[in-house]
């Protein structure tokens, strides 16, 4: 029974994030690849067929593999994420939320952006030699 619950848990996570990725593919304001990364990760833990299909996808498979092996995040997603966070920051500044909460959220966003911009944008040149 415990094994069944584990499989159901990981498959549920994979399905939820696949759904979010599909929504992201249709909506320009929502990302796709980060959700696919989580779906592939969860699939690897409880639904290997989904993980294999995602890894074999001609567009997203290489991005998932580059992330897994090297932590690669291309420049375009970095720029889009930064612009979206700036927009969120501007909306947050005009909201009636307490100042401490605004500053906390801005600090979290700044930390995430710093982490994101420190990720490599390309596979190492010496890879495969």
Closest Cα partner for 35 from 18, 56, 15, 54?
18
Torsion of CA 72, 74, 79, 82, to 10 degrees: -20
What is the C-alpha to C-alpha distance for residues 129 and 127, in angstroms, rounded to an integer?
A: 6
What is the C-alpha to C-alpha distance for residues 36 and 72, in angstroms, rounded to an integer?
A: 14
Give per-residue pLDDT as tens, 104-115: 999 999 999 999
Give per-residue pLDDT as tens, 9-66: 999 999 999 999 999 888 877 778 888 999 999 999 999 999 999 999 998 899 899 9
Q: Evaluate whether 10 touches 42 at the Cβ level (below 8 Å).
A: yes
């Amino acid at each position: 029974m415990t094994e069944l619950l584990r499989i159901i848990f990981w498959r549920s996570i994979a399905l939820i994030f696949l759904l979010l990725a599909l929504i992201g593919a249709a909506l320009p304001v929502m990302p796709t690849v980060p959700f696919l990364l989580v779906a592939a990760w969860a699939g690897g833990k409880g639904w290997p067929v989904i993980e294999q299909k995602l890894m074999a996808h001609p567009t997203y498979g290489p991005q998932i593999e580059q992330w897994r092996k090297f932590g690669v995040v291309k420049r375009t997603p970095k720029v889009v994420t930064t612009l979206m966070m700036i927009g969120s920051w501007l909306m947050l500044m005009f909201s009636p939320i307490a100042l401490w909460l605004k500053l906390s959220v801005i600090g979290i966003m700044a930390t995430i952006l710093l982490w994101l911009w420190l990720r490599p944008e390309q596979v190492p040149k010496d890879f495969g030699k």
